[in-house]
Amino acid sequence: MSLIDRVRDLDNKYCFMNAFAEDESNGEGLLKGYAVSVKDNVCVKGVESKAGSKILEGYIPPFDATVVAKSRAEGAAIIGKTTQDEFGFGTFNVNTSYKVPLNPYDPKRSTGGSSGGAACLTAVADFPHVAISESTGGSISCPASWCGVVGITPTYGRVSRWGLIDYANSLDKIGVMAKTVKEAAMFLDVISGPDEYDSTVLKAPVPDFTRMNSVEGMRIGIPKEYLGEGVDPKVEEQVWGSIKKLESMGASISEVSLPHTKYSLSSYYIIAMAEASTNLAKFSGLRYGLQKTIEGDFNQYFSSVRTEGMGDEAKRRVMLGTFIRMAGYRDAYYLKALKVRTKVIEDFKKAFKNVDVLAAPTMPVVAPKFDEIAELEPIQHYMMDILTVAPNLAGVPMVTVPCGEADGMPVGLHLMADHLNEIKALEAAQGVKQE
Amino acid sequence: MKATIGLEIHVHLNTRSKLFCSCTTEIGDKEPNTEVCPICLGYPGSKPKLNRKAVDYGMTIALALESIIEPEIRFSRKNYFYPDMSKNFQITQYEIPLSSGGYLLVGNHKIGITRVHLEEDPAKLTHVGGGITNARETLIDYNRAGMPLVEIVTDPDIESTEEARAFLEKLSLILDHLGVYDPTAEGVLRVDANISIEEGNRVEIKNITGFRNVEKALNYEVVRQKSAMNMGVSIVRETRHFDAGSGITSTLRLKEEEEDYGYIAEPDLVKINLTEDWIGRTKVSMPELPDQRIHRLEAQYGIPRFQANILVHTGLQMSEFFEESCGLYDDHREVCNWLVTYLLKSLNYEGLSLRESNVTPETFVEILELIRGGTISERLAKELIKDYVKTGKSPRKIVEEKNLGLLAEDELREVVVSVVEEFSQAVQDYRSGKSKAVEYLIGQVLRRIRARAAANDVRRLVLEELDQK
């Protein structure tokens, strides 16, 4: 059976693909023999790339995202586009008019989101595979932890965003998922580094992420705000188990505080929505994606395209984001949120003076069932991200690594490190997985 | 009644590529939508990349206007829906512009500069079957999308429509000298004008192309606002559109309908530090400004101030042409005279700019050499320059082809002899004391040879001939 046929087979069962690429060619390089899947919001030349949104249906990018080009250059076979919440707006990969992926551990449960398809495929692939995924506020960590795979969200600016269909540009980070820490680290090496097409990429040299040291002597901090209330005790038990394991391997454990954590969710959503509402403005049915017969004037036309092409969550974020930017509210919301973000970054900077890595549960609960999700209010959706938004807001790198199960569902340990210090989080993750 | 006018001038910078992508800025005669790429089309997944050359250009403009350059600049998104916008936001500068403050002297009047900033141009709209408000359909050409613009905002210091025009002329001369724009390109300079009269409300006229139209639009507004006031109608605060065809302005939107642009920082572009070093390098490489140039030409070439003024105000190309010509011909006053008096006149007569014509300093000085070497008369040279300007042909060639060179003495004598023989009546008249007959004979000679001999030489030879017989 060919690779693509095998992917189609799996997709029939788990629903993780939005589009298939016919690329089976494998050149020489670090990714020789690997299939690479690409989150739907990352452009692949010649393959429909719609970020899970109907308004981009039919958009065939005329160029490859830098991460895709770099993967190809290392011999990868690009197999297609994985499902996601529309534009990344969600935590369960249910906010989309396309496929909703099923959790490999229990099809009644969500894979998590927004990179749900990437996590699902990474878990079920029975061939060498790594996934290009993307996180704005936790969209890599959440689904990776709920599907029991490794996910790396690199430092903001480590990986080029050229070719990423933006959600919130100052927060968006392209990262990776894989079955093992080693594969994820190898793949991160492939896609990292300066890129003339993205000015926000850092000039810092990229270390060999696969050269991981042991955790002996590593200082691990446990942010007290990340445990206790709101975290399922069964999840916490698994997390503590893995932390103890790291301690037994020679790491030192201490409690730290990230005092601005409680403001990070509001700050994150304000900045994310403000940026998202400007990013989505370009989708007006004129040059690509969904088009209709032109009737009425320009305003009437693009409004009708957007009414049809955007889901409820997208519309909600456009409205909230626009409100946040309006004269009279801009200072109180947008500008204040930017100030809070600085405070959140300071929290992390201060913590990383004394510890190498912060450890916490990736998600407060295991993957919820679809019927539970249907009962949640939007604010409860947003609350799910409470443990992932602060590091995402701060732009620090984070790795989620499977660390046991609760109620038969995987639990992830979240390991966060200082800017550009991915290697430390990877070392800790490798320690957790070590036999 | 006193008018208060402030201008916002948008100038296309002539960098090689657009502001945020590598598409060319040479879009003048290109097929619509051919000079485009995913960035200027705002394709999903694309990101802007700042053309630092545009920052250089913006800086030289700021420096020429004595505007204070900000140490750290960044870009913002100005959000509004309009069909000429590829992203439905424009990348511009909001909180911190490239520079603030400064002034431009118009006569003795200091016109304050509020700010100078960089931004991208939207696409070009062509309304088919009507105007902006009632067109049947509108075509979009994205070639213009992403063109680098500098926006220069003045304080409301301008007091008349004439002063507005004088300001723009001076500004464009400076831009020309800085080499940051192409004055011949279509729509290279677009202006939004704010005008109020006495205590009246401020009215903004959007998107006027060219100086003459700015003056026209402002004149129209002055008349409109004055007559409204005289009739006791109050002027409402609004934005108006100027129709260049009919020369009138009409309401575009009222103040209450003004957009809220919901600015946010452009997150795809990083902050840019305009270091002392960078500013210093720009200062050092600043081209000469018009006023400096007038003084230098006067001193260096010994030409009168009024002529230096004409050379410089005609445009940078003219004074460069002068200097190059001076490098080829040592009588600089003569170069200047012929340039200012005759070449310029002929260019104007043909409706050509120096740029559009084919004249060059090398061929131009041939004329002076031909006169000095005695090959042609000054009078013929003045005739010849018309042909020269029209065709751009080498004057030496023109002289050869049209046989315009001065006649040698024996050649001239032959003509004189034949005239004296032919007009025997006149010769008799002369001999019988009618001295006027000489003038008649000279006239006949000159008619035959046109201006290929000096009049004095003709007179001498005619008299010699008459006195012999």
Q: Summarize pLDDT for A248-262 with one digit per residue, the tens.
A: 999 999 999 999 999
d(CA B180, CA B157): 25
pLDDT higher than threshold 80 for residue A26: no
Kindly state whether residues B319 and B172 are assigned to the same domain: no
What is the pLDDT confidence band of residue B409, given thresholds at 50, 70 and 90?
confident
pLDDT at A25: 65
* A114, A133, A242, A277: the active-site residue: A114
A214 is catalytic: no
Least confident of A18-27, A328-337, B172-181, B411-420: A18-27
Range of the domain at B429: 409-468
Instruction: Classify B54 as helix, strand or coil.
Output: helix
A139 is catalytic: yes
What is the pLDDT confidence band of residue A24, given thresholds at 50, 70 and 90?
low
Kindly state whether residues B159 and B132 are assigned to the same domain: yes
Whether B38 and A61 lie within 8 Å, measured CB to CB? yes
Nearest to B268 among A169, A283, A289 (CB): A169
d(CA A346, CA A393): 11
Kindly state whether residues B364 and B449 are assigned to the same domain: no
Is the CB of A286 inside 8 Å of chain B's CB atoms? yes
pLDDT at B458: 82
When divided into structural domains, chain B yields a total of: 3
Kindly state whether residues B322 and B231 are assigned to the same domain: no
Angle between helical axes of B361-372 and B316-326 (0-180°, round to 10): 50
What is the pLDDT confidence band of residue B426, given thresholds at 50, 70 and 90?
confident
Interface predicted TM-score (ipTM) of this complex, two decimals = 0.95
A39 is catalytic: yes
pLDDT at B1: 66
The residue-averaged pLDDT of B265-273 equals 96
Whether A330 and B263 lie within 8 Å, measured CB to CB? yes
Least confident of A30-34, A364-368, B443-447: B443-447
Question: Structurally, what CATH architecture does the domain formed by A1-435 represent?
Answer: Alpha-Beta Complex (3.90)
d(CA B46, CA B23): 14
The residue behind tokens 């350059």 is B69
Kindly state whether residues B30 and B161 are assigned to the same domain: yes
Closest A-chain CA to B258: A327
d(CA B382, CA B367): 9
Mutate to test the interface with A, among B22, B37, B43, B140 (most CBs of A within 10 A): B43
Token representation of residue B319: 């004074």
Whether A199 and B89 lie within 8 Å, measured CB to CB? no
pLDDT at A190: 98
Token representation of residue A83: 């499902």
Nearest to A302 among B46, B49, B81 (CB): B81
pLDDT higher than threshold 80 for residue B406: no
The residue-averaged pLDDT of B71-89 equals 95
The residue-averaged pLDDT of A77-86 equals 97
Kindly state whether residues B277 and B292 are assigned to the same domain: no
Kindly state whether residues B236 and B127 are assigned to the same domain: yes
B30: left (phi over 0), alpha (psi -120 to 50) or beta: beta
Kindly state whether residues B353 and B429 are assigned to the same domain: no
* Residue B269 C-alpha, separation from nearest chain A C-alpha, in angstroms: 6
pLDDT digits (tens, 9 = 90+) for B212-221: 899 999 999 9
What residues of A are in contact with residue B268 (Cβ under 8 Å)? 161, 166, 169, 198-200
The residue-averaged pLDDT of A174-182 equals 98
Q: At which of B220, B246, B281 does a domain end?
A: B281
The residue-averaged pLDDT of A81-106 equals 97
pLDDT higher than threshold 60 for residue B62: yes
Angle between helical axes of B290-301 and B161-178 (0-180°, round to 10): 70
pLDDT at B334: 94
Q: At which of B356, B385, B402 does a domain end?
A: B402
pLDDT higher than threshold 80 for residue A343: yes
The residue among A203 and A229 whose pLDDT is bigger is A203
What is the pLDDT confidence band of residue A383, given thresholds at 50, 70 and 90?
confident
Token representation of residue B396: 């030496």
Kindly state whether residues B293 and B216 are assigned to the same domain: no
pLDDT at B155: 98
What is the pLDDT confidence band of residue B94, given thresholds at 50, 70 and 90?
very high
Token representation of residue B464: 């010699």
Least confident of A82-91, B308-317, B398-407, B423-432: B398-407
pLDDT at B462: 84
Kindly state whether residues B331 and B462 are assigned to the same domain: no
pLDDT at B195: 95
The residue among B133 and B364 whose pLDDT is bigger is B364
pLDDT at B469: 57
With beta carbons less than 8 A apart as the criterion, state whether B158 and B164 touch: yes
- B285: Cβ–Cβ under 8 A, 6 or more apart, which residues? none
pLDDT at B428: 85
Most confident of A36-50, B183-197, B346-360: A36-50
Backbone phi, psi, residue B100, to 5°: -130, 150
pLDDT digits (tens, 9 = 90+) for A422-434: 999 999 999 999 8
Kindly state whether residues B269 and B361 are assigned to the same domain: no
Map out the domains of chain A as residue ranges. 1-435
What is the pLDDT confidence band of residue B134, given thresholds at 50, 70 and 90?
confident
Whether A197 and B47 lie within 8 Å, measured CB to CB? yes
Q: At which of B357, B379, B402 does a domain end?
A: B402
d(CA A23, CA A20): 9
What residues of A are in contact with residue B256 (Cβ under 8 Å)? none
- Residues in B whose CB is inside 8 Å of some CB of A read 38, 41-50, 77, 79, 81-83, 86-89, 140, 260, 262-265, 267-270
Q: Say what percent of chain A tops pLDDT 70.
A: 99
Kindly state whether residues B345 and B436 are assigned to the same domain: no
What is the pLDDT confidence band of residue B203, given thresholds at 50, 70 and 90?
very high
